[in-house]
């Protein structure tokens, strides 16, 4: 999942991966079948975006992202995100100015909020990953 600086990736409310870094990198995680995936991302400067794939499931417009810290346990299945806006797609894996991330599906979309000025976002996927996730950030 590409994103910079800070990444927290949750699987059904459990922190699956966390890092503080400068620049982008890719990690692989084993995320169980049929889980709710949630991501908190901070990007202090440069290109914004989150990119991921789990088998045939990818980051795309089915995800929802907000630029404010959600109330309650936003990382768990069943959390009411109905008021959250749909994520905004900035292009598919490999689109300029982003680089191609080889471990992430070509159909995955770079997502974020509707503002490239937002430096911290909270996103929720539609759930049900079916294979280990390839995440670049």
The mean pLDDT value for 55-72 works out to: 90
* Structural domain contains residue 47: yes
| Residue 46 within a domain | yes
- The residue range of the domain holding 73 is 6-136
> Which of 99, 114, 132, 133 lies closest to 65 in space, CA to CA?
114
Report residue 49's pLDDT band, with 50, 70 and 90 as the boundaries: confident
* CA–CA separation, 112 and 115 (whole Å): 8
Quote the pLDDT of residue 123. 95
- For the chain, how many structural domains are there in total? 1
From the list 7, 99, 90, 108, the residue with the least C-alpha distance to 49 is: 90
Residue 52 lies in a domain: yes
pTM, entire model = 0.83
CA distance 82 to 58: 20
Q: Does any domain span residue 1?
A: no
Q: What is the mean pLDDT of residues 107-117?
A: 93
Point out which residues pair with 52 in neighbouring strands.
135
Rounded to whole angstroms, the Cα distance separating 60 from 18 reads 22
């Amino acid at each position: 999942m590409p994103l910079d600086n800070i990444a927290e990736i949750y699987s059904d409310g459990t922190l699956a991966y966390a890092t503080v870094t400068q620049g982008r990198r890719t990690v692989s995680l084993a995320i169980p079948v049929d889980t709710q995936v949630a991501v908190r991302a901070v990007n202090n400067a440069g290109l914004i975006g989150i990119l991921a794939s789990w088998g045939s499931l990818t980051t795309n417009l089915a995800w929802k992202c907000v630029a404010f810290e959600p109330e309650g346990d936003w990382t768990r299945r069943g959390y009411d995100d109905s008021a959250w806006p749909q994520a905004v797609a900035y292009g598919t894996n490999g689109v300029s100015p982003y680089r191609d991330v080889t471990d992430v599906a070509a159909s995955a979309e770079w997502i974020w909020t509707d503002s490239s000025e937002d430096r911290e976002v909270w996103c929720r996927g539609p759930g049900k990953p079916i294979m280990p996730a390839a995440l670049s950030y």
